[in-house]
């Protein structure tokens, strides 16, 4: 009985730890995403997505695959800057997948700059040891 209890505690701790590690990795990758966006580096941003990723933008058609995703972000970077992301919740979906819920803000480059804010869901997948964005969708509250 004691062994089973120890095993279950270890299992619970290891699951908690895997989730905490995924959360840390995802928050770090979000910083990388924001830096690439704010530098206007669409190529770098796109490499953070899985090759078969989906991006489902509010106000535009869905983009599948890195070619379409890079074209979308290159266009968005012309209009928007000062990206900020805030992770609200990360849920582990198994050893190689996680679901993130978060909020974002951007500022329009048109003068006077206006703030665009909303919420997003990203499904992350671990590909060859690295977390990548596999599905990225967002919308606005108003």
- Rule CB under 8 A: which residues touch a copy of itself? 54, 56-62, 89, 91, 93-97, 99, 101, 119-121, 123, 125, 134-135, 137-142
C-beta of 57: minimal distance to a copy of itself in Å?
A: 7
Residue placing its CB nearer to a copy of itself in the complex, 39 or 64: 64
Q: Which is nearer to a copy of itself, 21 or 35 (CB)?
A: 21
Question: Minimum distance from CB of 130 to a copy of itself (Å)?
Answer: 16
Based on CB atoms, which residue is closest to a copy of itself, 32 or 52? 52
Least separation in angstroms between residue 35's CB and a copy of itself is: 25
Whichever of 32 and 61 has its CB closer to a copy of itself, that residue is 61
**Three-state secondary structure readout of the chain:** CHHHHHHHHHHHHHHHHHHHHHHHHHHHHHHHHHHHHHHCCHHHHHHCEEEEEEEECCCCCCEECHHHHHHHHHHHHHHEEEEEEEEEEEEECCCCEEEEEEEEEEEECCCCCCEEEEEEEEEEEEECCEEEEEEEEEECCC
In whole angstroms, how close is the CB of 17 to a copy of itself at the nearest point? 18
The sign of the torsion formed by the CA atoms of 49, 34, 21, 138 equals negative
């Amino acid at each position: 009985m004691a062994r089973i209890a120890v095993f279950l505690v270890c299992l619970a701790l290891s699951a908690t730890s895997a989730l905490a590690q995924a959360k840390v990795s995802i928050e770090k990758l979000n910083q990388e995403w924001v830096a690439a966006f704010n530098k206007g580096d669409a190529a770098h941003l796109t490499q953070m997505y899985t090759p078969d990723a989906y991006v489902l933008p509010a106000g535009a058609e869905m983009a599948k695959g890195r070619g379409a995703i890079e074209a979308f972000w290159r266009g968005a970077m012309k209009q928007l800057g000062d990206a900020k992301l805030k992770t609200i919740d990360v849920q582990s979906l198994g050893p190689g997948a996680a679901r993130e819920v978060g909020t974002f803000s951007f500022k329009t480059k048109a003068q006077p700059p206006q703030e665009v804010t909303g919420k997003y869901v990203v499904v992350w997948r671990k590909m060859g040891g690295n977390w990548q964005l596999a599905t990225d969708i967002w919308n606005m509250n108003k």
